[in-house]
Chains A and B, each alone.
Chain A
């Protein structure tokens, strides 16, 4: 420890003043009122004494003993080097590179074995009951379309397999038949399906939604998809009020332009074949009369200010029935993580009140079609999936879904599930489900043993499950997967245990 005391005499410097002058060094600079000579105190001990010695002025004639000689305690002293900051030798990640790595969707693993005799999803195979319990590959062009609408999620294990493939369960078979039925129409008239997919965690809701979209693409529909409703309501994208709306609606320009861009990429071949047939006074820019719908969508995708009017114009065109032009195809509206739009959003209005998600223009568009308030004359479907992992509490929607399910099961009105007295009721959400019936709530069931067997055989054929698929293995994996929860089956067979 450095001390201010003199280590020779162990006295503190201030005591020099009271000492007789005989003890003091002969040279000094401090003047004192009662001493005959000026006093120079001893240099206090410190680790920097060699520096002091070196820096002392050499000239002036009056050099003290300490300054002239070598340092008393020798040349060696503790020198702590300051650590210089570590210089990065590699290039740091570019802006956005980290996020891109996090969000990257990998759809093929070249190490995985190509499954021999894997059938592909097609308009014929998707409705064929023979394929129940089998895995069907998704054809390449459809994979590109599904990627464009962001139907694949990072949490799903697509990256382990050679080709994206899905299991034909009983429910996907039913859905395929409905899609085919809507496309064909009854008595020259098409219907508009309204479906909500719910179920346990990892029961395959998002994958069934993906299958629905794949089937729609195969049947030549136009698909408009909101891959995650959360992005619309957590106030991460810009919003602005829309003129001439009552109650006030808000439009998210940047998101709309993104949505149009995704829709365009996914539906390019269909939209290229369709032309304008209506007048669009709402568009701020003049439109060519023979413009294709793809070009219209591109206008909105390129210019965020045009995105909302372009979307409205596109929707008007898609729902029109032109006299002297090819008939418009059915349209599928898909939305995942539905609960996020069945509550207040994180946006604020001018009075700093929370904006209800139904007041966001694009959400309103989807919700109107879900409730049946608006419909498409040429048919189509809206398919909404709930999520069980990242989902807010929406008691009103949960109750409404349970009531619809109970009604479908034949429960009399008086025995329907009742609202809790302690939970607030969201009237706007209640209205969506109560206004008109006809919403089909589809609770995903667990896969059967036969379906699980088909899936495990696919895993084994891909080289990812290194075991013989026999009854005992199927029984073991099926039981360990909670009796056929398909996501847990995948986790138990492929992802977690290697």
Chain B
């Protein structure tokens, strides 16, 4: 059935309609409200500490908002009362609805329409050929999940919406894992990087439970360390987010006067913060020394570094602290932005 085309809402903004232009809301304009109502009804700003406005004031009616209904609406209302049927208010009323009201018309209607209004009780007629096919044994033993809604016409049921992010092809990996993998990559060899990532997670999974150093606190919402090794993605995310710097130092050339650069702290967003932390971890890992041979040595070193970050042994923490210290001292320079105006 095609969607109904209703022209009435389209015409609503036009002045020929009797409907009020704006639906009465809990947020009347200042012009309408008296001073006392205004203070009560104005939406609370972010800086106000008053309570939010209460929605008990009756909506105000403006000077030109109490019109009679449209002529067609009036005629339709009258038709409903008398039972004669007035004009169709909506364009594109389906024929089935009209036929339901009009019994004489239904008798003369073509068979297709009759069947749609009153569907026949069962299939009639026979076919000389089969319309069903046999499915392979392996497939028929499949899905009996009661949670899957089986819509008519969908072979395997429809999936639950919204789709989980990992079901989308381009986002099938965890965002942190994906970012880390991309930064591990050299010469565009993604599958090699993925192999390394897999090794890193596998090493984290088999490593002993990390002992957390209280001097290097992790993120406040961190789960207990015993939960971490079996969830290596969480382990990795926690290590990266804990050691990620909040800011970077931006040098404004010549801003300090006499050609001297002024150092200004600049906040980073989540992805930027993680990128910095991953870069630091990879740098520290590449300075480590391999103790084994064969492939997978770099993965071993990166995993060792991630574990060191988690246990507070890594030098990456010092880099973070030094950067934050510098950012705090250069905080005074932020008046630079005000000076320029």
**Neighbouring A residues of B138 by C-beta, 8 Å:** 449, 483
Say whether A238 faces chain B, with CB atoms less than 8 Å apart.
Answer: no
**Neighbouring B residues of A110 by C-beta, 8 Å:** 208
**Stretch from A205-213, A220-228, A466-474 that touches the partner:** A466-474
Cα A88 to Cα B230 in complex, Å, equals: 35
Cα A102 to Cα B205 in complex, Å, equals: 18
**A97-B291, A464-B230 known; A471-B206 Cβ under 8 A:** no
A235 shortest CB reach to chain B, Å: 21
Cα A466 to Cα B142 in complex, Å, equals: 21
Cα A301 to Cα B211 in complex, Å, equals: 45
> Are B143's CB and A475's CB within 8 A?
yes
A80 shortest CB reach to chain B, Å: 24
**Neighbouring A residues of B148 by C-beta, 8 Å:** 472
Nearest residue, chain A, Cβ from B174: A498
> Are B142's CB and A111's CB within 8 A?
no
> Are A471's CB and B291's CB within 8 A?
no
Cα A498 to Cα B290 in complex, Å, equals: 26
A91 shortest CB reach to chain B, Å: 10
**A88-B289, A102-B292, A102-B294 known; A159-B233 Cβ under 8 A:** no
Say whether B86 faces chain A, with CB atoms less than 8 Å apart.
Answer: no
> Are A109's CB and B144's CB within 8 A?
no
> Are B141's CB and A466's CB within 8 A?
no
Say whether B198 faces chain A, with CB atoms less than 8 Å apart.
Answer: yes
B141, B143, B230, B293: the one within 8 Å of A111 (CB): B230
Say whether A106 faces chain B, with CB atoms less than 8 Å apart.
Answer: yes
Q: How large is the interface on A (under 10, 10 to 19, 20 to 34, 35 or more residues)?
A: 20 to 34
Cα A464 to Cα B207 in complex, Å, equals: 14
> Are A159's CB and B206's CB within 8 A?
yes
The secondary structure that dominates the A interface is loop
Among B143, B148, B209, B293, which residue has the most Cβ atoms of chain A within 10 A? B293
Cα A110 to Cα B194 in complex, Å, equals: 25
User: For window 102-137 of chain A, which residues contact chain B by CB distance below 8 Å?
Assistant: 102, 106, 109-113
Say whether A90 faces chain B, with CB atoms less than 8 Å apart.
Answer: yes
**B 115-145 to A, binary, CB cutoff 8 A, 1 in contact else 0:** 0000000000000000000000010011111
Say whether A33 faces chain B, with CB atoms less than 8 Å apart.
Answer: no
**Neighbouring B residues of A20 by C-beta, 8 Å:** none
Nearest residue, chain A, Cβ from B157: A472
Say whether A101 faces chain B, with CB atoms less than 8 Å apart.
Answer: yes
> Are A111's CB and B206's CB within 8 A?
yes
A456 shortest CB reach to chain B, Å: 15
User: For window 228-267 of chain B, which residues contact chain A by CB distance below 8 Å?
Assistant: 229-233
User: For window 204-225 of chain B, which residues contact chain A by CB distance below 8 Å?
Assistant: 205-209
A396 shortest CB reach to chain B, Å: 33
**A 442-474 to B, binary, CB cutoff 8 A, 1 in contact else 0:** 000000010000000000000110100011100
**Neighbouring B residues of A496 by C-beta, 8 Å:** 194, 198
Say whether B201 faces chain A, with CB atoms less than 8 Å apart.
Answer: yes
Say whether A59 faces chain B, with CB atoms less than 8 Å apart.
Answer: no
Say whether B202 faces chain A, with CB atoms less than 8 Å apart.
Answer: yes
**Neighbouring A residues of B292 by C-beta, 8 Å:** 93, 97-98, 101-102
> Are B293's CB and A102's CB within 8 A?
yes
Say whether A73 faces chain B, with CB atoms less than 8 Å apart.
Answer: no
> Are A471's CB and B143's CB within 8 A?
yes
**Neighbouring A residues of B293 by C-beta, 8 Å:** 98-99, 101-102
**A 414-441 to B, binary, CB cutoff 8 A, 1 in contact else 0:** 0000000000000000000000000000
**Neighbouring B residues of A102 by C-beta, 8 Å:** 292-294
**Neighbouring B residues of A98 by C-beta, 8 Å:** 290-294
**Neighbouring B residues of A475 by C-beta, 8 Å:** 142-143
Say whether A160 faces chain B, with CB atoms less than 8 Å apart.
Answer: yes
**A101-B292, A495-B202 known; A472-B230 Cβ under 8 A:** no
**A109-B205, A160-B206, A498-B201 known; A101-B291 Cβ under 8 A:** yes
B195 shortest CB reach to chain A, Å: 9
> Are B291's CB and A472's CB within 8 A?
no
Cα A93 to Cα B294 in complex, Å, equals: 14
> Are B233's CB and A472's CB within 8 A?
no
> Are B294's CB and A111's CB within 8 A?
no
A322 shortest CB reach to chain B, Å: 48
**A101-B293, A111-B205 known; A498-B145 Cβ under 8 A:** no
B43 shortest CB reach to chain A, Å: 44
**Neighbouring B residues of A483 by C-beta, 8 Å:** 138
**Neighbouring A residues of B143 by C-beta, 8 Å:** 471-472, 475
**A472-B143, A472-B145 known; A160-B209 Cβ under 8 A:** no
Cα A475 to Cα B198 in complex, Å, equals: 24
> Are B144's CB and A90's CB within 8 A?
no
> Are B291's CB and A93's CB within 8 A?
yes
> Are A463's CB and B230's CB within 8 A?
yes
Cα A496 to Cα B200 in complex, Å, equals: 11
Interface residues of A (CB under 8 A from B): 88, 90, 93, 97-99, 101-102, 106, 109-113, 159-160, 449, 463-464, 466, 470-472, 475, 483, 495-496, 498
Further 6 A-B residue pairs, CB within 8 A, beyond A98-B294, A498-B201: A88-B289, A90-B289, A111-B230, A113-B230, A464-B205, A471-B144
- Sorted nearest first, the 7 A-B pairs with minimum C-beta distance are A101-B292, A98-B293, A111-B229, A102-B294, A463-B230, A109-B206, A498-B201
Sample of 14 A–B contacts (CB below 8 Å): A93-B292, A98-B294, A99-B293, A102-B292, A102-B293, A110-B208, A111-B206, A466-B230, A470-B145, A471-B142, A471-B145, A472-B143, A472-B148, A475-B143
Interface residues of B (CB under 8 A from A): 138, 141-145, 148, 177, 194, 198, 201-202, 205-209, 229-233, 289-294
